[in-house]
Structure 1
Amino acid sequence: MPAPAHITTVGVKRPGFATGGTSVTIQVPNSFATPVPNSVIHHYDVVISPSKKTLPARRGYFQSVRPGIGKMLINVNISTGMMYKKGPLLRVCLEYINKNNPNALSPTHGLSDRERLRLQRFISGIRILTTHLGPGGQKQTKPRVSMTVADYFRRTQNNPLQFPDVICAEVGSGALNPLELCDVPPGQLMRKQFPPEKTKDVLDFATKKPVGRLQSIKNGLDVLAYGQSEYVRQFGMNVDHTAGPLKVQARVLKPPTLKYGPGSRQMTVIPTNGAWNMVGKKFFKPVTIDRWAIVIYEQQRSFNDRSAQDMINGLCGSCRDVGIRLAPTPFIFWENGQGPIAKQLNNAGAACGKDGTGAQLLVVVLPEGGNDIYTNVKHFGDIIKGVATQCLKSSKCFRANPQYYANVCLKINVKLGGINTIPDPSSVSVLTDQYNPTIIMGADVIHPAPGSDGRPSFTALVASVDSNAAKYIAATRVQTSRQEMIEELEAMSHHCLSMYMRYREKVEGKAVGTTAPKRIIFYRDGVSEGQFKQVLEQELPLIKKACASLKINPKITMIVVGKRHHVRFKRDADRSGNCKAGTVVDRDVAHPIEFDFYLQAHGGLLGTSRPAHYSVLYDENNFSADALQSLSFTLCHVYARSTRSVSIPAPRYYADIVCSRAKNHYDPEGTLNFSDSATPVDEGQADISSLEAFRRGFMPLHKSQSSLMYFS
């Protein structure tokens, strides 16, 4: 059998341990003393999906060596992935496009270019074994005359093809192989974005409570067999896994007190395990909405006048409960999602005000599978018209309970300039020090999915503008594909700093000359540890240049917040078996010399909660560990869309959302296609892979939205 072919087509010294909070002892279910030489993933067969499916799920092990304080550690975790199904490549391709007849893979029998390109992205890079070599596995001499692939196999190898019209697979050498003569060997992990229809299955399969996860890891120690490793013995190492998971000292931070607005029966609330409710509470700063319209893209026989009125009553009631003044009689329109959506939305908005003021809010009801309509709505509202839009799924708002509409109100209020809640000044002195006004920033970069060659990366910078770090604005840019460092951070920082000083002067009434921040706290998306030096050498100077251009000199603290790691904690503290919200670990598994800590800011719901890993790269403010941990925990409670703490600080979370919505800045009817089936050559656009083409097509945010939390 021939060899398989591949289808082508620095940081600062640790300041010491923090001391605040309640001390507890917890277990790290996937850390064991002393090292193993290499990072490896071992897979064993535990299949979620039936064998007839193209992408069965498998569970295996991740392992790596980590430096601890006074010891080396092996970090072991269970890992989940999807694998290509072994067997004939033809069958794998048919199952992917959900067809039975092999001729469905023939352009002459109806295979569209779009479907072919989608299939190309799916199997690109997969290893195959070919079965058409000559006797003894020797390659045949290339023919001296031009002939079709089918003729070649019939004449030179006496192997007529069963399906001569079916597309071929091109390997790295350029050879074309008929699908029917290719086999997929077993054990190939699919390192690409999961198909959307598979996401729920994979999540269900990967979800394990802490007790179950720990037991799976213990069971796997026999598979990993460190005592039998030749490499471990040669290096004179010993892995002590008999003591079980590592026990570490942890603390549970005191949650912040959150403050609500006038008229609340309870003006303040202290979250319990990262959760609280809105019963009897008014928003800190609710908005008034006099002009709004509803546009329904569901068929009227499915979502009729009664359904629409029920939705209006539910939304108005929830708005009234939280202090939003919402006019009870909106204009209602039923529209066809295949029609000119921008024109339909414009007409709906214009109907709200004869004086040309238009709508303040457009509520859009979407049918199932209405992703394209959603993109059009957001492009119209955020980019073209500058009007707040709130999309609802028809299936969700049909006879919805009050809690659903309460959650919708959280989004609507901040989109129109309101503030839902703020941390009580007594809870977080870092933010409320009047002598040291502080701006909080969050930055992120999102890259195209694996296989989406030719598409750019997008960057986002989100920053607070108010003194309570509850109201944020955003800047987003296009940059070189798969580049992690933010190219235009200077311009983005200049914009955010200017907006911060403007808000403090115009809205908060601060005197001119006192509006500039004295401190910048910069939360960066989880770049890899090997890129920390790049952040300090490339991004930090850009922030300083932006400050210099504005003639301000704030002290800067840079913190990388990572979630892509394999450290998990277990403590029997709640029904889920996870640690309580506010659990912080800054010893034992932390870095021996650098300033880092793990913070689990949210209460566990499903599976095993993943703590965020904070690495402080630069700190001119000389914050104590207590101060930064408390601040970070507080910022996890000001995420406007939830009455639960989230796993990472709100500005960092917002930056992720802004990045993911960057495609809304492009004309939905244009040639730059971001659908899952699109490719760099879709629609025959030869220049679509050009970065400049994407930059030219990227439309700026509407001016009226630039000071609002449109991304909420």
Structure 2
Amino acid sequence: MENHSGHGGGGGGGEGGNTQYETIGASSTSEIKFHPEMIIRRYDIDIKLEEPFRPNTNVSKSDALMVANKLFSEYPTLFPSSAIAYDGEKNIHSAVELPTGRFKVTVPKGEDISPHTYTFTIKPVNSPELTRLYEGIQPSILREILQGMDVVSSSDGPRGGEIAQHFGIAVSEKISEEMTEVTTRVLKQPNLKPPEGDGQWNLLNKAGKHIKRWSVLDFSQNPTCKWHKPMVQSFPQYLAQHCNKLGIQMEETPLFYHGSNMNVLSNYNQLYGLLTYVHKRAERRLQILICVMAERHNGYEIIKQICERDIGIKTQCCMSYLANELKDQYLTYLALKISSKVGDSTISLFNRLPHLDDDRHVIFIGADVNHPSGFNTSSPSIASIAASMNWPGVNRYAARICAHPHGTKKIWKLGEMCLELIQAYACKNKIKPGKIIFFLNGVSKSDKVLTEELDDLKKAIKSNGYSPTITLVGVQKPHLMGKRGNIPPGTIIDTTIGFDFYVCTHNNGILCTSEPTHYHVLWDEHGFSSSEMQRLIYNLCYSFSYCTKPVSLVPPVYYACLQGAPLP
């Protein structure tokens, strides 16, 4: 802890049997009562990751809450948790005066990851009294008070407990503590090749391609910044050994190792020359090139463009600070990606997907827009599209990405990127797909999607007699459900008329973490029934190459999301 001033202490109002409350915000479901003499103090919060240092890294809301809770537990007198409400972003509301300044907080990140150190900076903003709700105050101040009350009342859950009492706030008894109960049904697990009984599988004793020709291109050597961590020389050997341990046959020694530095990534001509040299040195027969980077860098996209579109090298990028830890979890993640990229698959479906049993080829496309998080207001948003490249296996994907102005929600050049992927499919399979099933992340019911994205897609691909049928499905990422345990994989929540439902597809061993995903069919030219679409989505979730169990999000969207935020 450093450079802080002020002091903790002071009691909150609203305690005791004779407290007189006023009421505001009454509705048919809830109302908030408050003590008119109470003061809500607001503080501005800024949290930065200090160690390991990663430039341009934003702290997520979940990490921010973890850091705040750690700080409050270390200094309970200065930060009495029962008198503080933190929104997980930039605001703390407090019933007592808090110390200001900068604090260092070290948070353990689990047995596979080293602890992280953060700076937690707190500055006072204002202290609006609740009595000013009765005065002719400016709308901005009124909004400030009401927002503070909302954060406080939500910090204790539906009935408002100890925290709300310190602020002199009470929440109406109209809100039920019980979660909404819904009627569900459970789909049967699909038949897999090879057979697996428990919804999870491993790679052991499964024949696959032998990775004989691989090399390492290390951009983390000769560091130019103090926070860059050079790759440890034992990493390639550990990676190969771990691949073999998982059943992925890989030569334990790469063809060669070449050291470079991060500056090369900023010079297109120099990077192109380096990658061309690597390609020639491997006699143009590399199966995979491992590219090690010291930090996130825009050069990642250039590497992909040069290697996989211009030269013809498959690449797997990784971060040196994660590689250096030599942890099984990260090595397994890399091993599964490498296996997928050289043409292997962890599992495949035994039967064809429902309602797709005619002779026409089918391509599955997923789209997503990834926006910078936290306080980053200048970096571009990244639109990404992923599409399946084989049928009926549906376990190999290609992708395209495009930078957008910050905060842009519509996918620019959607039709153009989809056309490129359809052409890639046709080049690989000698035939264009006759059916397109398109999953668009982040939307549910939206006329704008139908008039813009769908029209853009049709205009781009329908030409020269080519006119595939299209189904468009809106996807909203997983929603937490269940408080006594997990709901089983294959659970369908479908209580409405039409193509609007939740599907729980993943097999998560951690209690109370089941997260069904919301799907809504926006356009359908294939005549799917609701049950057929649900079965198709559930079965697809068993075909994700980077996992050995079904995933929570339909794979075309999952791959698109990974492309929008590809590292580490």
Give me the TM-score of the superposition, normalised by structure 2. Answer: 0.65
What residue number does 1:568 align with?
481
Name which structure has the greater RCO, CA cutoff 8 Å, separation 6+: 1
What residue number does 2:288 align with?
361
Change in 2 beyond 3 A, CA 1:642/1:220: farther
Letter in 1 for 2:353: V
What residue number does 1:508 align with?
none
CA contact (8 A) 1:414 1:640 kept: yes
List alignment gaps of at least 5 residues for structure 1: 1-34, 61-77, 99-118, 131-171, 173-183, 192-205, 207-212, 228-238, 260-267, 506-514, 662-710
What residue number does 2:181 align with?
247
CA contact (8 A) 1:639 1:650 kept: yes
- 1:518-566 CA-to-partner distances (Å, cap 9, x unmatched) read 322111112265xx1111121111222223225322222111111275x
Q: RMSD of the TM alignment (CA)?
A: 5.0
Distance of 1:534 and 1:353 partners within structure 2: 49
Change in 2 beyond 3 A, CA 1:190/1:554: farther
Cα offset, 1:420, TM superposition: 1.0
Distance of 1:258 and 1:478 partners within structure 2: 38
Counterpart among 160, 172, 184 of residue 225 in structure 1: 172
Cα offset, 1:414, TM superposition: 2.7
Bigger mean CA offset, 407-416 vs 461-470: 407-416
Cα offset, 1:482, TM superposition: 2.5
Structure 2 residue 192 is matched with structure 1 residue 258: yes
Change in 2 beyond 3 A, CA 1:454/1:404: closer
Letter in 2 for 1:258: L
Three-state SS of the structure 1 residue aligned to 2:402 is strand
What residue number does 2:438 align with?
522
Three-state SS of the structure 1 residue aligned to 2:455 is helix
Distance of 2:518 and 2:374 partners within structure 1: 25
What residue number does 1:278 align with?
203
Counterpart among 415, 418, 436 of residue 490 in structure 1: 415
Counterpart among 187, 211, 215 of residue 292 in structure 1: 215
Distance of 2:337 and 2:282 partners within structure 1: 27
Letter in 1 for 2:365: M
Counterpart among 389, 394, 397 of residue 472 in structure 1: 397
CA contact (8 A) 2:360 2:435 kept: yes
What residue number does 1:630 align with?
535
Structure 2 residue 559 is matched with structure 1 residue 646: no
Bigger mean CA offset, 334-343 vs 625-634: 334-343
Change in 2 beyond 3 A, CA 1:353/1:498: closer
What residue number does 2:499 align with?
595
Change in 2 beyond 3 A, CA 1:348/1:594: closer
Alignment of 1:24-423 (within 5 A): 36=28, 48-51=69-72, 81-82=88-89, 84-85=91-92, 92=100, 94-95=101-102, 128=126, 224-227=171-174, 241=176, 244-259=178-193, 268-270=194-196, 272=198, 274-283=199-208, 286=209, 288-293=211-216, 295=218, 297=220, 307-308=234-235, 310-311=237-238, 314-315=241-242, 317-318=244-245, 321-322=247-248, 324=249, 326=251, 328-333=253-258, 350=277, 353-354=280-281, 357=284, 359-365=286-292, 370-372=294-296, 375=297, 378-386=300-308, 387=313, 388-391=315-318, 393=320, 396=323, 400=327, 405-416=331-342, 418-423=343-348
What residue number does 2:10 align with?
none
List alignment gaps of at least 5 residues for structure 2: 1-26, 35-39, 43-64, 106-118, 129-139, 165-169, 224-228
Structure 2 residue 381 is matched with structure 1 residue 457: yes
What residue number does 1:66 align with?
none
Bigger mean CA offset, 421-430 vs 433-442: 421-430
Percentage of identical aligned residues:
24
Letter in 1 for 2:187: L
What residue number does 1:580 align with?
488
Change in 2 beyond 3 A, CA 1:442/1:365: closer
Alignment of 1:507-546 (within 5 A): 515-527=431-443, 529=445, 532-546=446-460
Letter in 1 for 2:423: S
CA contact (8 A) 2:214 2:290 kept: no
Distance of 2:81 and 2:559 partners within structure 1: 33
